[in-house]
Amino acid sequence: MKIQQLDHLVLTVSNIQLSIDFYTRALGMQLITFGDDRKALKFGHQKINLHPAGHEFKPHAKKPTCGSADLCFIVETALEEISEELNRLNIPIEMGPVRRTGSTSPLTSIYIRDPDNNLIELSVPT
């Protein structure tokens, strides 16, 4: 088998609307609704499906847990601009900018948290 790419991942969230607001407002993702009024956040060629905690769609992870994700997104915008925008939105930067190692190149990253305290890394290839 040879994996080509990631299609989607699932986040278990405590509040669907808070997560939608954060990811669309702060990270510029697009809300999509599919299936039986399910919610997802689209970016590039991928999406994040949102499962409400306690009401996860089957099948699901063995122990779906809010706040257990650690995600890295490659961004096209300069980190300085992103930092300014996060400041305007009162979203604290937890760390960065710092140098990291990405899957295809070195990265410069900043870290923030979403409403469920998932760690979100925003990175520019360097």
Place of tokens 């970016």: 43
56 is catalytic: no
* SS3 (DSSP) at 69: coil
Please give the Cα distance from 90 to 11 (Å, whole number): 23
The catalytic residue among 80, 81, 94, 121 is 121
- CA distances, 25 to each of 18, 29, 58, 91 (Å): 10, 8, 29, 11
DSSP-assigned beta bridge partners for residue 106: 101
| Residues recognised as catalytic | 121
